[in-house]
Amino acid sequence: MQKKLLLVFGILGFLVLAYVIADALLFDGIKPQLILENGIHAKFYAKEGIKSKTTIVLVGGGTWGDYWSQQFSKKSLVGFSLPYIDVEGMPKLPEELPLEYFERAFEWLIQRPEVNTEKIVVMGASRNAELALVLAATFPNYISGAIAYAPSAVSWSNTVLPYSSDTIKPSWTYNNEKIPYVPMEKIKGNKTDTIALLDYWKVGLRKSDLVEKALIKVERIKGNVLLFSGKEDRVWPSSQMADMIEKRAANLGFVYSLQNIQYDNAGHLISSNPAQEVNPRNGVLYIDGKAFSCPFGGSNAGDFKAKRDAKQKVHAFLENIE
């Protein structure tokens, strides 16, 4: 019996050792450093020994943030995958979320020798693009540029998709003050099996007085801005809002470069993995227990073409950060 147990443990030990060796030999990426300091929850990606490199903060973190952080770190840049909700010890929803959390993350970053403190860029997609632009406008002393996929031109309330808050509140605060926002009622179901998300947001954008107050102050950003949107985005009017961003920047004397790149036949998912040729064409939204189909817009071919082109433009943008 004892010999059998030794044999079993020996086999298990061999398998564990083989896995460790195979992982070391086959893994060609950069293994992240998990950061759990001063309330920050993030992953820091950097090649060993690099100094003073352009750093990209992936707002929202998760699988998306980890993917892009890997891509950047392989090119000897620094990737910082930064979640802010739905992680242990962090809020479940983005409501009255203090921007001081991100400020602490930026303060942590500038202490790292791998980071060029003059070249920190924030990057996000959809609502995380909204937040990335808010951060770049709020903390111009830390941030040197912004990349926004399917961006928003305004800050929205906490009640917007895909969240389920019942009370309208600001999504973001700073110094205990609300970041001005467009208040939105929770989306309601209907008798069909589909929700027209685009209409929901366009109603919000027609609240002209509130929209004017909630427009993100992109003119305060001290660096170049890169916007991507799909002209057939069916989740929200990202191309329309990208045009609003560009118009505000031009009207208020924005002195840096702002690229507003819009793709034909592409939808909301142009920020997903550029190597992935097929995207889901519809999402599912549950309202009062009923499942509704929500089209993302675009096509597989259009999304794939847009994603590959956007990836090239992202790397070119980062090479030219001033």
**For residue 219, what is the DSSP state?**
G
Asked whether residue 69 is domain-assigned, the answer is: yes
Residue 156: inside a domain, yes or no? yes
pLDDT of residue 89: 75
Mean pLDDT computed over 116-142: 97
CA distance linking residue 229 with residue 266, whole number of Å: 8
Q: Output the average pLDDT for the chain.
A: 89
Per-residue pLDDT band at 27 (split at 50, 70, 90): very low
In a domain, 79, yes or no: yes
Residue 15 has pLDDT above 60, yes or no: no
Asked whether residue 11 is domain-assigned, the answer is: no
User: pLDDT tens across 272-289, in order?
Assistant: 999 999 888 998 888 888
pLDDT digits (tens, 9 = 90+) for 242-263: 999 999 999 999 999 999 999 9
Residue 55 domain flag: yes
Query: What's 79's domain CATH number?
Result: 3.40.50.1820
Confidence of residue 75 (pLDDT cuts 50, 70, 90): very high
pLDDT band at 86 (very low <50, low <70, confident <90, very high): confident
* Amino acid (one-letter) located at 31: K
pLDDT on residue 10 = 47
The range of the structural domain enclosing residue 164 comes to 29-319
**Number of compact structural domains in the chain:** 1
DSSP state of 131: H
> What element of type H or E holds 33?
strand 33-37
pLDDT of 8 strictly over 70: no
pLDDT (0 to 100) of residue 250: 96
In-domain check, residue 1:
no
pLDDT, residue 162, reads 56
What is the percent of the chain where pLDDT is above 90? 72
The runs of H, that is alpha helices, within the chain are 2-26, 62-74, 100-109, 127-138, 197-205, 208-214, 238-251, 300-319
Percent of all residues in the chain with a pLDDT value above 70, rounded to a whole number: 89
Note the pLDDT of residue 288. Answer: 81
Lowest mean pLDDT, pick from 54-63, 289-298, 309-318: 289-298
Whether 274 is in a domain gets the answer yes
Whether residue 290 is contained in a domain is answered as yes
Cβ 146 vs Cβ 172: under 8 Å: no
Helix (H, G, I), strand (E, B) or coil at 218: helix
Using an 8 Å Cβ cutoff, are 231 and 239 in contact? yes
